[in-house]
Structure 1
Amino acid sequence: MKIKVRTTNADDTKYVVVICQQIEESAKIRRTGIAKRDPEYVKKKITEGHAVIAFCDGILAGFSYIETFQDRQFVANSGLIVFPEFRNKGVAKLIKSEIFQLSRNKFTKSKIFSITTNISVLKMNMDLGFKPVPITVLPKSEDFWKGCRSCTNYDILTRHNRKMCLCSGILYDPSEKKSNKKLLFGYKKLFFGDKKLLFGDKILLAYSGGLDTSYCLKFLTQQGFHVYTAIVNTGGSSEKELIDIEKKAYAIGAKFHRNIEAKDDFYQHCIKYLIFGNILRNHTYPLSVSAERIFQAIKIAEYANEINAKAIAHGSTGAGNDQIRFDLAFQILCPNKIIISPIRDLKLSRKEEMDYLREHGVDILWEKAQYSLNKGLWGTSVGGKETLTSNQNFPEGTYPNSLQEFKPQKIQLTFSKGELIAINGEVTDPVENIVRLERIASRFAIGRDIHVGDTLIGIKGRVGFEASSALIILKAHHLLEKHVLSKWQIYWKEQLGNWYGMLLHEAQYFDPVMRDIEAFFMNSQERVSGIVSVQLHPYRFELIGIESPFDLMQTQKTKYGEENESCSSEEAKGFIKIFGTPMKIYHSINP
């Protein structure tokens, strides 16, 4: 069912009679409320655009309008109805949200109020920021009170000198809710302007269970959308963690949640090439998060197409690279989907997100929420207040693992054509080996560092990380290559590895040149097989050496720094003479 709620126009006056009839009929059934509305008065509200109207699959489903009192000091959201066949489908909540937004747009400084006996309507208003108030604080205007005359409980009101009735008063005071203006009003144009998103539309949210995406989920459901959530596991979540995240998604308001497994794809289409290219961004960072974001975006885009979502949402801010990785992937893989990013669009701080979730009853570990941890197969990134400085390190407890092993430990890593196939002689698939090595090395608190680099939006970024498995594998693989590859293979791999890492970091994964570089990497690994010995220590590791049937050091006749059996003394002198000819010519002319 497609629900559409919009501001009225003159064409909607044709519904006036049936709307007034339904208002009166609803009041009779409730045995309370203002029963009669003047059709001409309602018609005027519709024509002025001071009303909203709801349709379900094109059929009239509900209505509400705005009234003003005491020189617009007060604004009332009145006459809310939902036609019987469309009740209990969320239509009332959507109408209430839209009439509230319309009131705030047209009367920015006015106090907005309602009176009701309906508990559901009372809760809807309170979710929007209304507070229960005594009837005595509502308008004193006779124009307001005369509307109550058609209510069956009018005598109760008059007997108590308009100080008490069965209705409850609820009031929204914009001077007391400045923060809400930013959180609610800021999305008006995005949702209901040229983007054409309608109440009840299906949105797929890339959901991690953290602060940012929890805010997005609560906020979007509060706006009246049907939010589906999905987490893409690129190796950072255990089965228990995935179950907990699913429970949290449903508790906050997700219509449906799905866990998407992607670590094998992530390895086969990305990590494998990061290893082949020995890629460390700025010689430091193994691209733990920037690499996995692309594959999370790919899986989210595929799922969005599968469930026919109208929009995709993500929790990126406007001050980093992830927003570009997500948006670009979505634009390529599902170009017809609307892209929503509440944190970026509303320019929210983490404190504002926390405050909003607290106000809406969402339980978050607030101390932990001060830091942003993104865990994946290729490492864990850490963001927090320290990374906003240039000189502070993270507290010990911020990293995902603590130092538990103090005695050095030697391990052997076996590579076959560039892939890690065994640890200490125990053979299993490369993905499992990455996980196993992480379990071993993380107990030594190996792999911690802080990366500083340039973002795509032109600012410097600083992020902490812990990636013991990734760093050990990259360095061990690089050492093995030094022994088995030629000088120019190593040189050109280094050049292309630098480009591949930069392009991947800068969201260029879909450029065809990436497939070309991957083909070069794959071909270069034909002889990268052997065993690398590594010694683990607290907070560090050292590479001991390699054993390989393709070790070029073991097949050469010349022993470095000692004796040369491949050429005579005279041949060496002749080589040096010819080798130095270009420099000697230059310096003979430019002494």
Structure 2
Amino acid sequence: MTDKLNKIVLAYSGGLDTSVIIQWLKEKYHCEIIAYCADIGQGAELEPVREKALATGASKVFVEDLKEEFAQDFLFPMLRANAFYENHYLLGTSIARPLIAKEQIRIANQEGAEGVSHGATGKGNDQVRFELTYMILKPDVVIIAPWREWDLDSRSSLIDYATKHNIPVPVTKKKPYSMDRNLFHISYEGGVLEDPWYEPDADMFLMTKSPEAAPDKPTYIEITYQQGNPIAINGEAMSPANLIATLNEYGGENGIGRIDIVENRFVGMKSRGVYETPGGTILHAAHRALETLVMDREIMFLRDSLIPTYARIIYNGLWYSPERELLQKTIDDTQIHVNGTVRLKLYKGNCIPAGVKAEKSLYSKDMASFEKDDIYRQADAEGFIRLNALRLKLYSQTFGNM
């Protein structure tokens, strides 16, 4: 099928890989290359993208502003689920790929392109995330993954290829780590970071101050929630994307949201990644704090048992799968009563709940108080304990003490 391609839509970022890929696709497939860049909060990185793509051989360039859709339809559902992968990673790269791929397929249909391409390597997770989305949204699409085809087998060889073809790239052999940025986070990997013993240079981080350099005075903020979604900061209503961007500023200023982990990739190997997720870290803490006030114990237990599965589904690129949709409906049902306000103290890398309130709360001060009350009969606890001890007593009598 690749011999008959007339148009290919490339998911283009302007970075090292995709800058080289435009030229490589033209050389190999001799067809029209359409560059597509999703604006999901990269900021100033997008300014030269259109001009650069045209200069390096693209026939058309689409730069689509998807920030609000990204926040509303992808980040917020994931945050309602309190999703994190392997106890730490807040899935900032993983959650962006299905949206990028969805829009890429839309443009391919619009432009009559038979093929789509991406810059993900054959070792990473992103190839899976992109291609699973392509296949479910356009089963007959031709997928071209240059990293699985070409003989450019390293970052260094890509830099040499770019130099040979006069393609400007934002990476050098001296500083070859890869960076991926969006509204939710920045990820850093590869190059000098491939040594897990290597501590990242202080000047690598772009979204957050170091905790040592953060203000010596704590910052207090309040976040208001409605059905599990944050809707206001300090009483000011904001759109989803603006709310996250604002929290990035608060978190970044106070050194919040850095992690350095070795994670298990879907393809089977371990990988070291360094991440900055300031606003997302704040939202996780706030959401959890509010849920303690308004969520039933057994519902919380069941929902929490689903988090590892839900997170793994996102990490593995299965956002559009029926299992994710089923889990999302279940999780969203748990969020109906998650309404209220959380106060947080931000201080030198720490995000500390400092107060929570809700009009409808399952917390009863009168019942929980250590002072005298007429609601709870303490004598009732004896029967409760005896019933819970029944099986333990039977076990001990039958098999002896542990």
Shorter-chain TM-score tier: over 0.9
Shift in alpha-carbon separation, 1:266–1:565, aligned structure 2, 3 A: same
In structure 2, what is the equivalent of residue 327 of structure 1?
131
Query: Which residue, 281, 293, 296 being the options, matches 1:471?
Result: 281
Match of 2:56 among 242, 252, 263: 252
Q: Distance in 1 between matches of 2:177 and 2:396?
A: 60
What residue number does 1:283 align with?
A: 87
1:492 equivalenced with 2:302 (yes/no): yes
- Tell me if the contact between 2:224 and 2:232 (Cα under 8 Å) persists in the aligned partners: yes
Decide whether aligned partners of structure 1 residues 216 and 454 sit closer, same or farther in structure 2, where only a CA change above 3 A counts. same
1:371 aligns with 2:180: no
AA at the equivalent of 1:254: A
CA contact (8 A) 2:294 2:338 kept: yes
- Could you tell me how far 1:449 is from its partner in structure 2? 0.6
Task: Write the deviation string for residues 358-407 of structure 1: whole angstroms up to 9, x where unpaired.
Answer: 01111223338612211112211111324422322311111113526413
Q: Which residue does the alignment assign to 1:501?
A: 311
Q: What's the CA shift for 1:556?
A: 5.1
Do the aligned partners of residues 565 and 579 (structure 1) sit closer, same or farther apart at CA in structure 2, a change above 3 Å counting? farther
Rg larger in structure = 1
Q: Is the 8 A contact 2:32 2:59 kept in 1?
A: yes
Q: Give 3-state SS (helix, strand or coil) of 1:516's partner.
A: helix
Amino acid at match of 1:378: F
Matched, 1:261 2:36: no
Question: Distance between the aligned counterparts of 2:91 and 2:145, measured in 1?
Answer: 23
Matching residue's letter, 1:534:
L
Quick one: distance in 1 between partners of 2:243 and 2:297? 29
Report the TM-score when normalising by structure 1.
Answer: 0.64
1:509 aligned partner, one-letter code: W
In the aligned structure 2, how far is the partner of 1:516 from the partner of 1:465? 29
Q: Distance in 2 between matches of 1:332 and 1:279?
A: 23
Could you say which residue in structure 2 is the equivalent of 1:207? 12
TM-score by length of 2: 0.92
Partner of 2:158: 353
Match of 2:197 among 386, 391, 408: 391
Q: 1:450 aligns with which of 260, 273, 287?
A: 260
How do 1:125-204 and structure 2 match up within 5 A?
Answer: 195-198=1-4, 201-204=6-9
Contact 1:535 1:541 survives alignment (8 Å): yes
State the alpha-carbon separation in 1 of the partners of residues 349 and 35 from structure 2: 38
| Offset of residue 573 of structure 1 | 1.4
Q: Secondary structure at the match of 2:304?
A: helix
Identical residues among aligned pairs (%): 27
- Quote the offset at 1:243 in angstroms: 3.3
Cα deviation, 1:429-475, whole Å, max 9, x if unaligned, reads 22211111112221223211123222121111221110000011011
- 1:231 maps to what in 2? 37
1:299 to 103, 108, 113: 103
Residue 455 to residue 386, structure 1, CA distance change in 2 (3 Å): same
Q: Within 1, Cα distance between the matches of 2:134 and 2:349?
A: 39
| Aligned partner (choices 436, 443, 460) of residue 246 of structure 2 | 436
Supply the distance in 1 between the matched residues of 2:381 and 2:52 (Cα, whole angstroms): 73
8 Å contact 1:558–1:564 — kept in the other structure?
Answer: no
Find the aligned partners of 1:196 and 1:405 in 2 and give their Cα distance: 53
Counterpart among 388, 392, 396 of residue 579 in structure 1 = 388
CA contact (8 A) 2:133 2:318 kept: no
CA contact (8 A) 1:215 1:357 kept: yes
RMSD: 2.0
Separation in structure 1 between the aligned mates of residue 159 and residue 68 of structure 2, nearest angstrom: 34
Structure 1 alignment gaps of length 5 or more? 1-194
Using the TM superposition, give the Cα deviation of residue 553 of structure 1 relative to its aligned residue in structure 2, in angstroms: 2.2
Higher mean displacement: 578-587 or 266-275: 266-275
- Contact 2:196–2:262, Cα closer than 8 Å, also in 1: no
Give the 3-state SS of the residue equivalent to 1:543 in structure 2. strand
Distance 1:581 1:311, change over 3 A: same
Q: Which runs of 5+ in 2 are unaligned?
A: none
1:510 aligned to 278, 296, 320, which one? 320
Separation of aligned partners in 1, 2:308 and 2:194: 26
> CA separation of 1:416/1:230 partners in 2, compared to 1, >3 Å: closer, same or farther?
same
Q: How much does 1:351 deviate?
A: 0.4
What amino acid is aligned across from residue 109 of structure 2 in structure 1?
N
Q: Are the aligned partners of 2:208 and 2:256 in contact in 1 as well (CA < 8 Å)? A: no
Whether 1:344 and 2:344 are equivalent positions in the alignment is no
Question: Match of 2:385, SS?
Answer: helix
The structural deviation recorded for 1:494 is 0.6
Contact (CA 8 Å) 1:386, 1:393: kept in 2 or not?
Answer: no
Partner of 1:541: 351
Change beyond 3 A, Cα 1:568–1:364 = closer
Provide the rounded CA distance (Å) in 1 between the counterparts of 2:365 and 2:371.
16
Which structure has the higher relative contact order (CA within 8 Å, separation 6+)?
Answer: 2
Distance of 2:325 and 2:157 partners within structure 1: 42
Kindly report which structure 2 residues correspond to 1:48-59, keeping only aligned pairs within 5 A, or say none: none
Deviations 1:58-102 (A, max 9, x none): xxxxxxxxxxxxxxxxxxxxxxxxxxxxxxxxxxxxxxxxxxxxx
Number of matched pairs: 393
CA offsets 1:24-56 (integer angstroms, 9 cap, x no match): xxxxxxxxxxxxxxxxxxxxxxxxxxxxxxxxx
State the shift of 1:562 in Å.
6.1
What's the CA shift string for 1:227-263, capped at 9, x where partnerless?
11001122x223x543311111111111100012222
